[in-house]
Structure formats: C-alpha cells, structure tokens
Amino acid sequence: MFNLVKGTHDIILNEADKYTYVEQTLIQFAEFYNFKEFRTPIIESSDLFQRSVGDSSDIVRKEMYTFLDKGDRSITLRPEITAGIIRSIVNNKLLALGDYPVKAYYVGPCFRYERPQQGRYRQFNQFGIEIAGVTSPYRDVEAISFGYFALKLLGFENLKLKINSLGDDESRKNYREALNKYFASYVDQMCDDCKERYKLNVLRILDCKIKEDQEIIKNAPKISDYLTDKSKDYFQKVLNSLDELGIEYEIDDGLVRGLDYYSDVVFEFHYTSSKGLSYGALGAGGHYNKLIGEIGGPKDCEGCGLAMGIERLVSVMEDDGLFSNIDDGIDCYIMPLSQEFQPNALNILSLLRLNGFKSEVSLEGKSLKAMFKKALKLNAKFALIIGEDEIKTNSIICKNLSNQEQESILIEDLVRYLDSQIDAEEEHHHECCCHDHNESDKDCCCHAHDDEGKHCCHNQNEDHECCREKKGN
C-alpha cells in the first residue's frame, strides 16, 4: 500500500461524475461567451511564474513545486494557469495582428505547496477564462458576469461578489508610498513574513492572516483614497454596468489579491453553504495591464480573467445538494440465465451500446436474484433476460424496472421498443408540473426552491400531491 502524497486526493467513481458535471457545465457556458479552449503544459519555466505571479507573492516565495530537470533547467508545476495561457497567446502570435480580444478558457490541475485544510489542496483543479486585448471596462464586466452567471447556473444562490480597484500604475505607486510610510513604525512588531513583504512589496502585507498583524493592517491607508481620476472612472463604469446587469457586489477596499500581476479591477466570489461552511473564495480574478507585455506580447495590451477552484465548487455543491440532476444510472442491464448464453448477451450488448443505450452485462455467473440486485444497484431502467426460450425464438425479456412490467421482444425490434419506452417515460415527465412555471411565472419549477428552501420537485404542491406526479395545468 502506498499513501497519497500529502494534500492530494483521488477523484473517482461518483465523485468524478460530479467533477465532470461541473467542468462540462462551465465549458458549455464558456462556449456561449465565445471563449475557445486552450490546453497548455502543466510544466513551465520557473521564471514565467517569477515574472508574472511575482517574486513577492506567497505563491512564488513559498508554494511552488520547482525542480531542475536533467538538463539543469528550472521547471515549475504550474501554481495557476493564467501565466501559461498568456505565454501561449504570445508565443503563438495571436495578438500580433491587433485582432483583439483573444478569449481563452481552460481547465486542469494546479500545484501549490500550501498547508492542506478544508478546500485547500496541494494539487487542485481550476477552470478559468482569460481575455487578452482588453480595451474597454466592459470586458472586465464580461469576465465578472461570466463568473457570476456560471455559478448561478451551477445552483449557487446568495453569492457574495467582493470587488475592489487596485488602480493604474500611478495609483499603486502613490498607495505604496503611503503604505511604506504607515508600516514603517509598525513593521518591527509584525511577523517575519511581513518584515520580508515590507522589503519586497508592501502591498503584500495586506494579505497577512496573523491576528495581531491584522489589527495593525485594519488602520492602514485605503487604496480608494489613492486612485487616479482615470482609475476611479474605470472602476465606476464597471460598477454601473454590474448594477445594470443586476449583479450585486460589495466593495471591499481590503481586497488586494495575492498575485502581483493585477491592476484596476479585482474580485472574488464567496459563498457559505447551508451547513454554514465556507471554503474560501470559490473563484477570483481581475484585470492585468502589464502581464501580457512582460511575457513578450504587445506592451500596451491589457487583459482580464478569472479562475474557479473545482474542488471547492464540488464540496459546496455536495453540502447543498446541488447534484440531484446527475443521472448516474444505466439504460439496460443484460442478464444471461446461464454462462453458455454469454456470447448472445455480448451481441445484444454491442447492439445496444452502438445504438446509444448505456448498458452493462452480467458475466460473473450470478443467480437471477443476484443479477436483479445488481440491476437495482446500477440504477438500470431495464433488466434484459436471456434464457433458453429467448435463444430459440431470437427474443429477449425486457423488464421495465420502474413499473415492473415485462414483455418478450424480438431482437430485431429491441432498439425500437426501448426507444419508445424511454420516450413514453420522458413524455410523462414533460407533462409533469416540473416542466411548468411557478407562481412568479419566471423560473422553471425544477430550478426553484420552496419556502423551506427544499427543491420544489421533491416537495408537495398546493393540493398536497407530489409536484413530480401532478400533470401540467
């Protein structure tokens, strides 16, 4: 037995279905926003992250998995994906013709040597988007609104969007000077990390989580007092547009983000599960005005983006029962009554699979009772039984496991028969009140919650019948 490496975890079986569901939902939504998929390497040159995420960030100073390869090159397992995406956009000259913007989405593993705790792993997965070639504050709004509506689509209500502006270079220069002055008289009493941060980049002190230091940080100057008119105007345009879109936010002037490449708008999505658990930010991002130029792209080219932690999304969605719509069952379970019928079972299995029915077969010589038990465990819609009579008549017994009705069906009619049964089943659901609209006449009942916060489908309607059973109007 080998133990997992600390801070890593297996994503298997039903858990993996949940990851796929979350990733697919985000990918499909990103396609609506006209983002294109980018797959970049997990290993990059270490200096890419030193340059972009920044030498003064905790990520570069303490958390990177860096090693020398056999050719003595310093390589790092990516701690985040933005830098690799921008490197790829620049290397592939996608901005060279000034055909802005380039819109990328990505999903994959990241690595940070952090102290493992709830929602914090050493290997974790991110989904994210980047917009390279931003020339309007409304592109920032596009990125923020993508994150907001994508999280809504996954079922998150009562999201908290925290937003702030770090301003342009001049705003931050003035702000840094003010912070340097302020912290000069406190830095000796602060933690060793903050002493280091004071020398490297005083802004990073604002990220310190140590209680005693936070007391000092509380009274530090605020960035909002140092924004230039241009930055104020940019930020206001973003806020006005969020208002127009009905996206609620909270301005948090302590939000500075831990990566060095940000300028102007930065944001984080927070959420507390119904169990009262919070796993840190579900997703976060912001604008970057220098990153593209620093990685070798056009000097004046700006960008913005965001990334979400899939582990955190899945944990909160599990807590809040937001995976009820994942169908992990199969269509057919084939049950040969004797081992000698296995070849026939395999032929039928192939026919079904090639016709789009998710199917499994019993080849372990189990009893009929044990096979039925397995069919239920697999959440099969139909049990298909093959015995001697069926072989002789080239037929199969189809038992519908939801209503327990069974019929003998000729193999040549099997696909048509199963299609019609499944259609009839779906027809029933279409008439069901679940597909109707609720009182507000806006939300589909399926996606709404009742007064007690329970999912409507599993609740009772006014007549005290189950919503699912009631036929439309």
Q: What angle do CA 194, 199, 285 make, to 5 degrees?
A: 70
* Phi, psi values for residue 132, rounded to 5°: -105, 130
Q: How far is the CB of 7 from ligand HAM (least distance, A)?
A: 8
Q: How far is the CB of 338 from ligand HAM (least distance, A)?
A: 51
Q: How far is CA 377 from CA 17, 320, 331, 374, 418, in A?
A: 17, 24, 13, 5, 20
Conformation bin of residue 13: beta by default, left when phi > 0, alpha when psi is -120 to 50: left
In the complex with ligand HAM, which residue's Cβ is closer, 126 or 359? Answer: 126
Q: What angle do CA 30, 34, 37 make, to 5 degrees?
A: 65
Closest CA to 433 of 458, 404, 411: 458
In the complex with ligand HAM, which residue's Cβ is closer, 10 or 72? Answer: 10
The answer to whether 157 and 163 are in contact (CB under 8 A) is no
Residues 6+ apart with CB under 8 A from 378: 329, 330, 333, 360
In the complex with ligand HAM, which residue's Cβ is closer, 112 or 381? Answer: 112
Q: How far is the CB of 229 from ligand HAM (least distance, A)?
A: 25
H and E: helices and strands count for the chain: 15, 16
Q: How far is the CB of 435 from ligand HAM (least distance, A)?
A: 34
The answer to whether 424 and 416 are in contact (CB under 8 A) is no
**Chain CA centroid to CA 457, Å:** 25
Secondary element (H or E) of residue 85: helix 82-91
The 3-state DSSP class for residue 338 equals coil
Q: How far is the CB of 35 from ligand HAM (least distance, A)?
A: 12
| Per-residue burial over 45-67, b = 16 or more CB atoms within 10 Å of its CB, e = otherwise | ebebbbbbbbebbbbbbebbbee
In the complex with ligand HAM, which residue's Cβ is closer, 280 or 387? Answer: 280
In the complex with ligand HAM, which residue's Cβ is closer, 128 or 297? Answer: 128
Q: How far is the CB of 292 from ligand HAM (least distance, A)?
A: 12
Contact set with ligand HAM (CB under 6 A): 80, 82, 112, 114, 119-121, 124, 126, 128, 130, 259, 281-286, 305-309, 311-312
In the complex with ligand HAM, which residue's Cβ is closer, 49 or 382? Answer: 49
Q: How far is the CB of 12 from ligand HAM (least distance, A)?
A: 18
Q: How far is the CB of 43 from ligand HAM (least distance, A)?
A: 17
The answer to whether 110 and 125 are in contact (CB under 8 A) is yes
The CA distance from 127 to 366, in Å, is: 43
Q: How far is the CB of 183 from ligand HAM (least distance, A)?
A: 24
What order do you get walking across the sheet with 250-251 strand by strand?
A: 36-37, 102-111, 123-132, 303-309, 283-288, 263-270, 160-165, 250-251
C-beta nearest to ligand HAM: residue: 309
In the complex with ligand HAM, which residue's Cβ is closer, 124 or 198? Answer: 124
Q: What angle do CA 80, 85, 87 make, to 5 degrees?
A: 110
In the complex with ligand HAM, which residue's Cβ is closer, 303 or 336? Answer: 303
In the complex with ligand HAM, which residue's Cβ is closer, 57 or 359? Answer: 57
Q: How far is the CB of 41 from ligand HAM (least distance, A)?
A: 16
In the complex with ligand HAM, which residue's Cβ is closer, 17 or 207? Answer: 207
